Structure 1
């Protein structure tokens, strides 16, 4: 089921969302000082390509640098990305077929708002809260 949802997602909106994140990451790499944001944008872009079957967790090694970077990210781009994902998710949830895609858009909000200090892992990974022992 995950593969089918990922294929539908990729065709309808995943490719374009990922392309936007990849272009933003490229711009961040060109500006050199924003390279950490470029890495985060590319990580989100890969997640936006194939979101079903993946979860977001906090990195235990994240520290003050990630927190400061996230504040800057929220001000510059994060709030706008989160609003875009929220509006797209609401629009997708209007139809029954679009509900899983809307939920996937809502799942992208936390990582698009504060990408630094987060890790994208498989849903079967033992680090995912609420699974395993």
Structure 2
């Protein structure tokens, strides 16, 4: 079922989301100072391409630089990305058949708001799946 949902997601939303995040990552890497943001954008792009069966975990050892970077990211890009995910999920929810895609879109909001210090892992490898 995950594979079917991922293929549908890829066709209708995932490809364009991944392209957008990848372009942002390229721009951030070109600017050198923002390379950590670029790497985070590439991680989110991979997650946006194939989200079903994966989850986001926070790294407890992320540190103060991740916190500061997340504050900057939140103010510059994160809030706009979250709004974009919410806006695109509304028509998916209304269409009923797109509800799983809307849920995946909403599931991306935490990592798009605060990407530094986050890991994207398979559900099978999640630390929280066993507890």
Q: Which category of TM-score, normalised to the shorter sequence, fits these structures?
A: over 0.9
What's 1:90 paired with?
90
Structure with higher helix content: 2
What's 2:130 paired with?
132
- 1:105-124 alignment runs, 5 A limit: 105-124=105-124
Cα distance in 1 for partners of 2:117, 2:68 equals 11
- 1:4-15 alignment runs, 5 A limit: 4-15=4-15
TM-score by length of 1: 0.96
Q: Deviations over 1:16-65 (max 9, x none)?
A: 00000000000000100000000000000000000000000011221111
Query: Structure 1: any 5+ residue segments left out of the alignment?
Result: none
Query: Structure 2: any 5+ residue segments left out of the alignment?
Result: none
- 1:41-80 alignment runs, 5 A limit: 41-80=41-80
Tell me the number of residue pairs that the alignment of Structure 1 and Structure 2 aligns: 131
Stretches of 4+ aligned residues off by more than 6 angstroms: none
- 1:25-40 alignment runs, 5 A limit: 25-40=25-40
Q: Secondary structure at the match of 2:40?
A: helix
TM-score by length of 2: 0.97
TM-aligned CA deviation for residue 126 of structure 1: 4.1
69-78 or 117-126, larger mean C-alpha shift: 117-126
